[in-house]
Structure 1
Amino acid sequence: MSLLEQIVARAKSNKQRIVLPEAEEERTLKAADRVLADDLADLILIGNPENIRKEAKEWGLANIDKATIVDPQHCEKTEEYATLLAELRKKKGMTVEQARELVTKNNLYLGCMIIKTGDADGQISGALSTTGDTLRPALQIIKCAPGVTCVSGAMLLITDQKQYGEDGIVVMGDVAVTPNPTADQLAQIAYCTADTAKSVAGIKDPRVAMLSFSTKGSAKDAKDKTTGKSVYIIDKVVDATKIAHEKYPELKVDGELQADAALVPSVGEFKAPGSPIAGHANVLVVPNLEVGNIGYKLVQRLGGAIAIGPILQGIARPVNDLSRGCSVDDIYYMVAITSCQAMDAKK
């Protein structure tokens, strides 16, 4: 059974309630029909019911009536949601009238309020919305998970090179959200990416490598010519590894490691003898977003790896972002991934 098949099977074993706030969008509605046909999740579709049913009929979608359809203009809980949202944002000066405007006219805010009040377990958007639009209501309403102050994105990389990672599966973070994390944020990203490896990829024993262009002091940070201070590249990774050990003593993590030292046993043994992670890493944490984005796309395009994600992590309840170029398959599998995250978030 492939990893995607395993993710789908786990999602089916304990169905979660997932909100699709862009339900009038064609790919989203087609994916929803497939989710409902396969009994993968209980769906809450936000949109005009008449439009949704008209489009479903036009596209030959027979399962849409199995979903709960919420009309943002005629939602029986509008006042409850508006009152709670105004309370959550009162320090920012939000009034009930402004909150009411958001929950009736912005489906992403309405979806997050449905989750906040316990009526749903996760949300997926992005077929029509930007990452910022997806994250903004999630951070304002659902907020970060306890102990986490930065949101990040993980990518599942699946390769036929079974000798690497966990039988060819590697999870990489951050590839989507935080451009230049601090050492403390990098430690949080390590913890969250390991958690994603467990909850989504089914990796029971995450082994985290904090990547750099140096292995155990083989290179030193350059100095700024003006100030004489370290430019804080390698040192940041070293500091992040120390913080991760202190804050998450149960986490198996080591760094700084070059990518080959992290993945190849013979190289790891040579460059970092005695390291419990070197040569055996299945979770890779990169020093910044630039490295993460370039790295996973090179592995995907030149190495032929399957890349699944980004999977947003660090939010108290899963809210995931799609590419605006996403396919029906992408949305279908993201429903399954979000369901797996939701199960673990409840533990």
Structure 2
Amino acid sequence: MGFLQQLAQRAESAGRRIILAEGHDERVQDAAVRLQDHGHIEPILLTPDCTVGPPPGWKGPIRCPVDDPELPRYADFYRQIRPQEALDDRTARERVADPLYFAGLMVRAGDADGVVAGADHATGDVVRAAYRCVGTSPGHSYVTGAFYMVVPSFRGTDEPEVLTFADSGVIPNPSPEQLVEIALQAAEMRSVVVGDVPHVAFLSFSTHGSARSPAAEKMRKAFELLKDKRPDLAADGELQADAALIRQVGQRKAPSSPVAGQANVLIFPDLGAGNIAYKLVERLAGATAIGPILHGLALPYNDLSRGADPASIEWVAYVTAVQAGS
């Protein structure tokens, strides 16, 4: 059984309520109906537009926060968890009427188990709402993002392979210290979502000093920091992508590396590299891109590409359910 089928089964076992916060978007509506019909999770639709009716085949309500009877309760709750904003009641209600915030507060209050949004919002809007409503998990200073790329088999396996691309969605130009956080979060969440052993590669255009530049040195320093912090984690850097992924190349370029040729968590030097890489692999190699999955949050709240189709939204919802059940 392949990863995608296992993911759907694990989501069903978790039995979670997942909010799709952009119920006015036709792609989100289509995904909600698919999720409802497949029965693996319980989807909840929110919309900012109270005139939006249910999509064909939808059996539940569409909640509109502006007119929702729970709005006053969630507004009070928001003021309690965000006292530093010093919002009056009216301003709090206006803030919470935004489905991104309403959804996050539903999860924070225990009225739902996870959120999926971003089909019609920029990543910054989604991350800001998630950070304010559910907060970061203990021990994590940053929210980071990753894509789970289900790619055609290229290392002799019978099934497609799953690679984690991080950070491909949130931090534009991470420092070595932030790269360590990105790597640790990606490795930790991969163990939850995929269930295998993470092998982390800090990617560069250089392998073990084959080229000298500040950009390559940044990745080398990030690896050294990670090694000091988590010597038990299989990791290496800096590595070129072919050395990280292809065993024969890795043996030639980095014969002493513990991960060369078997990396499954790819850490990119900046958001530009990570974002471009995932889109190229998705569009040219026919990969399934699931994400951005947000790491470092206290509760599951995940982003979408604005180019997402209904199937992509469905897969992110399943990952969100698996996170909630972990």
TM-score after normalising by structure 2? 0.90
Offset of residue 311 of structure 1: 2.1
Give the alignment partner of residue 191 of structure 2, picking from 181, 192, 198: 198
Letter paired with 2:44: I
Q: Which whole-Å deviations, capped at 9, do the CAs of 1:168-205 have from their partners, x for residues lacking one?
A: 322111111111001111011111222332222x2411
Question: Could you tell me whether the CA contact under 8 Å between 2:65 and 2:102 is conserved in 1?
Answer: yes
- Paired residue secondary structure (1:255): strand
Q: Cα distance, 1:111 vs. partner?
A: 0.7
The code of the aligned residue for 1:39 comes to: G
Contact 1:149 1:185 in 2 (8 A): no
Give 3-state SS (helix, strand or coil) of 1:323's partner.
coil
Q: Offset at 1:139? A: 0.9
Deviations for 1:122-168, whole angstroms, at most 9, x for unmatched residues? 10112222222211111112122222222222122233233079963
How far did residue 76 of structure 1 move?
Answer: 3.9
Match of 2:209 among 202, 205, 217: 217
- The residue matched to 1:64 in structure 2 has which SS? coil
Matched residues in 2 for 1:314 and 1:97: separation? 31
One-letter amino acid of the structure 2 residue matched with residue 2 of structure 1: G
Offset from partner CA, 1:49-71 (integer Å, 9 cap, x none): 9855x433xx3x1x422x6x544
Letter of the 2:130 counterpart: A
Using the alignment, how far apart are the partners of 1:196 and 1:328 within structure 2?
A: 24
Matched residue, 2:100: 108
Paired position in structure 1 for 2:218: 236
Write the distance in 2 (CA, Å) between the matches of 1:157 and 1:211.
16
Query: Contact conserved, 1:164 with 1:282, CA < 8 A, in 2?
Result: no
| Amino acid of the structure 1 residue aligned with 2:113 | D
Instruction: Report Cα offsets for 1:7-63 as digits up to 9, x if no partner.
Output: 1111011111111222233222222122122212122322489855x433xx3x1x4
Question: Which residue of 2 is the match for residue 134 of structure 1?
Answer: 126
Deviates more, 1:1-10 or 1:180-189: 1-10
* 2:114 maps to 1:122: yes
Quick check: 1:31 aligned with 2:27?
A: no
Q: Closer, same or farther in 2 for the Cα pair 1:325/1:305, shift >3 Å?
A: closer
Asked if residue 288 in structure 1 is aligned to residue 270 in structure 2, the reply is yes
TM-score normalised according to structure 1 size: 0.85
3-state SS of 1:163 partner: coil
Task: Name 1:97's counterpart in structure 2.
Answer: 90
Q: Compared with structure 1, are the counterparts of its residues 146 and 246 closer, same or farther at alpha carbon in structure 2 (3 Å cutoff)?
A: farther
| Overall identity of the aligned pairs, in % | 39
Residues matched between the structures, number: 325
Residue by residue over 1:288-347, the C-alpha shift from the partner in whole angstroms, topping out at 9 and shown as x without a partner, is: 111112222333344443333322222221212223332222222221121112222xxx
Amino acid of the structure 2 residue aligned with 1:64? K
Note the 1:254-333 alignment, pairs <5 A. Answer: 254-333=236-315
Matched to 1:169, the amino acid is V
Q: Is the 8 A contact 2:22 2:48 kept in 1?
A: no
- The 2-side partners of 1:246 and 1:276 are apart by 16
Which residue identity lines up with residue 184 of structure 2 in the other structure? Answer: Y
Q: Counterpart of 1:161?
A: 153
Could you tell me which runs of 5 or more consecutive residues in structure 1 were left unpaired when the two chains were aligned: 222-231
The answer to which of 165-174 and 246-255 deviates more is 165-174
Give SS of 1:170's match: strand
Task: Give the match's secondary structure for 2:54.
Answer: helix
Provide the C-alpha distance between the structure 1 equivalents of 2:287 and 2:40, rounded to a whole number of angstroms. 26
